[in-house]
Structure 1
Amino acid sequence: MIDTLTPGRIVVVGDLLLDRYITGSVNRISPEAPVPVLLHAREHATPGGAANVAANAAALGAPVSLIGVAGADGAARTLREKLAAWPGIDTGGWVIDPAWTTITKTRILGGQQQIIRIDEEILAPFRAETNARLLAAVDAALPGARVLVCSDYAKGVLSDEVIGGIMARAAAASVPVIVDPKRPTFGIYTGAALITPNRAEISRATLLPTDTDAQVEAAARAASSQFGGDVLVTRSEQGMSLWQRAGSVRHVSAQRSEVFDVCGAGDTVVATIATMLSAGLPLETAVVIATTAAAISVSKHGTATVSRHELQHALNGETTGHGNLVSLGEATRIVADWRRHGARIVFTNGCFDLLHPGHIALLRGAARQGDRLVVALNTDRSVAALKGPSRPVQDEHARATVLGALRDVDLVVLFDEETPIKAIEALCPDVLVKGADYTEDQVVGAPFVRGYGGRVALIDLIDGRSTTSLVRRAGAGQANG
C-alpha cells in the first residue's frame, strides 16, 4: 500500500537541530579523575528537531519545505549538507541569523551506551525582523501544501507571534496543522487540527494522570478543550491513543520491537502521520501506520529515519525477504539510508553453503570493521559453476535465511555472475572484506573500493574449517556406514 501512495507537499516549521555522535570504546578509568576514558573511533552527524521531521517525511516520499532559523556557522553548513541526502527537502525557507548559534547536541557513546550529552545553544528571543522573515517563508511555502507541521522543541522559532501567524495563514489556505508540542499548556496552538504530546507532556499540560486508557482519554479531552483540535497521545511501550472531537477514541498497541534508542521517535511519528494525511489517508489509518514506523525507528541507534520500503515490509508483516535477503536495487536504497545516518558499510561475499565456525569468524571479524555488514551470496548456479554439480548442499534461499538470522549480518544479496563486482560497484562499501587466505591484490573490487577512499580488510581464518572438507567427511561417513 505504501508503495502506491503519492504524498503531497508538507511544510515543516520549527527548531533546526544538528545531532552529533562521537563513538568509541571505554576500557579504563582516567588517572586524572574518576571518569571513563573514551578511545575515539569515529563521529558523525544527523539532522535533528524539525530537520529530522523533514528527513523522515522525505524518506517516506513526501516533498518537504523546511522552515527554521540557523546561524551563519559551520553547524548550519553541516546540517544543510546532511539534508542534501534527501533531494525532496527544500531548505530555501531557512532564515540565516548571524546572531544565532545553530543548536547542536553532541552525544558521547562508549560502545552503544551514551556516557554524556553536550548541548551547544544560546537561546534568546529573535528580533522582529527574524520573525517577519519566518512568516514570509511560510507565506511562500503554503500554496499547494497539503499539511503543515509545527515541530516545537522550545528553542525559540515557534514564538507566540510566529505560531499565531502560522495558524492564521494555514486557516486561510485551508491547510491542516499538526503540532508536536513543548509548551506547558496547549492554548497557544489554537487552530491546530492535531497535536501529538507524549504522556509526560499531556499530563503536565492538563495536571491529570495518564496511566490507564481511561485516564489518557480524560487528559486528551482536557487538552482538546485548550486548543480545539484532536489529540494523539504517544505512550511509549503502551502504543498510542487517538482522541477525536467527533467522539471516537482509538487505542493502538505498540509494535513489538527490540528497543535501542527512542531518540527522535516522536519526529518519526509526526512525519509519518503528516505524510499519510498528505497522500489522502484518513487519520485513523495514519496513526496505525505511524505506530509501525515508531517501532522501526526505536530499533535503530541514534536519531533515525524510516524509509518507505522498510515501512512497507513491516506493514506486510515481513522481514526483508528470506532472512535478510533483498534485491540489489533494494539493497542500494537501504545502504543509502544507512549512509545518511553516518553508517560505515562493510561488504563480503561467498557461497556459505554449510555454515561453520570459520564462516562465523569471518563474518564476526567483518562486522567489526564498520557499522553495517552486507553479504553477497553466490546463487545456486554460480556455486555449481565454482564447486561442481554436487554443490550447493543447501539452496540459495536456505543459505540466505541462515545468514540473515546471524546478528552480525544486516543484509544479504544474491549475485549470479562470476564475481560480485556488480554488487560492489552498486553499493560502494567503505570496507571490503575477504579471508586472509587472499592477498589484497587478489580481492575482487579492491582497486574500485580504494579508488574512492575505501579500504580492504583481510580476516584471519580458522585452520581446517571449510564446507568442502565437511562435505568430504560426510560422504566418507556414509560410505563407511
Structure 2
Amino acid sequence: MTRSGPLVVVGDVLLDIDITGRADRAGPGAAVPVVDFVSRRTRPGGAGLAALLAAAATPEVVLVGAFGGDAGAERLRRLLAGRVRVTELLLHGSTVRRQRVRTLGGSAPTHAPDGPATDRAAESSAPRARAPAAVARVLSGSGRAGTDPLPGSARAALRSAGAILVADHGRGVTAHPELRALLAQRARQVPIAWAPHPYGSTPVPGVALATPDRSYAAALVPGPFDSGIRARELVRRWESRSVAVTLGAHGAVFYRHGARAYFPIPVPRQLYVHGSPDAYGAGDMFAVTAATALHTGHGLAYAVRRAVESAAEFVWAGAVSGTPPVRDLQQHA
C-alpha cells in the first residue's frame, strides 16, 4: 500500500549537457579525435534527474534542491516546470554543469565489463557495429548550497513526505545542518533511501537503505574485503537499516541489519548488455526505483531486487541518451 504523502527527492541539482558529434578523423599532429558538432541536448542532472525519473512512476514528487540566479538555474527551472514540484534552497555560486561529448563516428568501444568468461568470449567473437561513445566530460560551475535558514516550504515538504530519496552529488545540500536534523527525525517515521557521493555527506542514522557504488564502498572500507563485507560494515558505521553496494553490470550486494549473511542480487541474464553501453544515470534509476518501492510499501529486499532490474532495463533502453546499445544476436541463445 502506497504511503500517504509525496515522494520527496533531496539533493544537488545539476545541469547536464550532451554534445553529440561525428568523429571520423583525428587532428593533425595529435592522436585525438576531431568532433564535428551534430546536436546539443540539456536536461536536469543529479537530484533533478532523479526527480524526473521518479515522476514517471509516482503521482506526486517534490524536489528539494539548491538553485542560483544565473542562466543555468533558469534553464533548470524551465526543464522541471510542470513535471515536479520544486522547493528551492539558496545556491551560492554558479550552476554546476556537466558536459559530455559523445561521438557517432569511429570504432565502437571494445572494453567489456567483467563478467562470466563465456560472456566475454561471445562478446569478442561477435561482429560489432559502431555505437555512440563518450570521449570527454567537462565539469564547470562553482555552486554549493550554504547553511542559510531552511525555507518553511522545504520543512513542510519533508514533514509531509511518504518516503524520501536523498540524491547526494557532493554540492553541499546534504551537509545543511538543519536539513540533516530533519532527515534524521523523519528517518524514524518514513523510509529514506540515500544515494551517497564521495564528496558528499554521510547518511544520517536510521536510513532505510543506502546505495554506495563499489568504488566508493571500497574507499570507505579499504582492504581485501568483498562488497558484501563492506555492506555489512557500512550498515554498522552509518547506523542504517540496510546497504546495497551497487556493482554496475553485476547488480548489487545487499545486507540488512541483524542478518546472518549478505546476498548478491545479479542482473537478470536477459537484461545483460555486452560491451560498453551508455550507463549514464543508471545509479539514479537504481536509487529512484528503490525509493519508489519503499514508498509503495514494499520491503527492503524487494526494493533492491527491483532496483537492479530497473537499472538494467534503463541501460538496455539506452539510459539518458535514449540510444539503445548494440546487442549481439547470441545474447538470448
- State how many pairs are aligned: 294
- The residue correspondences of 1:5-154 to structure 2 (distance < 5 A) are 9-31=6-28, 35-84=32-81, 87-91=82-86, 93-97=87-91, 99-111=92-104, 112-123=132-143, 126-129=145-148, 132-133=149-150, 136-154=152-170
Distance 1:202 1:23, change over 3 A: same
Distance, in Å, in 2 between the alignment partners of 1:46 and 1:147 is 25
Higher percent of residues as helix:
1
Please say which structure displays the higher CA radius of gyration. Answer: 1
Give the match for residue 262 of structure 1: 279
SS for the counterpart of 2:320 is: coil
Distance 1:194 1:165, change over 3 A: same
Q: Identity over the aligned pairs, expressed in percent?
A: 28
SS for the counterpart of 1:68 is: strand
Q: Does the alignment pair 1:159 with 2:175? A: yes
Structure 1: segments with no counterpart, 5+ residues: 305-337, 339-370, 373-404, 408-481
Distance 1:186 1:195, change over 3 A: farther
**1:43 CA drift (Å):** 0.9
- The residue correspondences of 1:73-472 to structure 2 (distance < 5 A) are 73-84=70-81, 87-91=82-86, 93-97=87-91, 99-111=92-104, 112-123=132-143, 126-129=145-148, 132-133=149-150, 136-159=152-175, 161-162=177-178, 164-171=180-187, 174-183=189-198, 189-210=204-225, 215-229=226-240, 230-247=242-259, 249-255=262-268, 256-258=271-273, 260-301=277-318, 303=320
Q: Which has the higher contact order (CA 8 A, sep 6+)?
A: 2
**1:303 CA drift (Å):** 2.9
Distance, in Å, in 1 between the alignment partners of 2:89 and 2:176 is 18
Distance, in Å, in 2 between the alignment partners of 1:142 and 1:288 is 26
SS for the counterpart of 1:27 is: strand
**1:59 CA drift (Å):** 1.2
Distance, in Å, in 2 between the alignment partners of 1:8 and 1:250 is 32
TM-score, structure 2 length as denominator?
Answer: 0.78
Distance, in Å, in 2 between the alignment partners of 1:14 and 1:101 is 16
Distance, in Å, in 1 between the alignment partners of 2:25 and 2:314 is 32
Distance, in Å, in 1 between the alignment partners of 2:4 and 2:289 is 11
SS for the counterpart of 1:142 is: helix
SS for the counterpart of 1:291 is: helix
**1:100 CA drift (Å):** 2.2
Offset from partner CA, 1:30-56 (integer Å, 9 cap, x none) = 348654222211111122111111111
**1:29 CA drift (Å):** 2.7
CA RMSD, Structure 1 to Structure 2 (Å): 2.9
Contact kept? 2:52, 2:84, Cα under 8 Å: yes
Structure 2: segments with no counterpart, 5+ residues: 105-131
Distance, in Å, in 1 between the alignment partners of 2:150 and 2:202 is 24
Distance, in Å, in 2 between the alignment partners of 1:228 and 1:245 is 9
Contact kept? 2:73, 2:95, Cα under 8 Å: yes
**1:62 CA drift (Å):** 4.0
TM-score, structure 1 length as denominator?
Answer: 0.56
Contact kept? 1:209, 1:216, Cα under 8 Å: no
SS for the counterpart of 2:74 is: helix
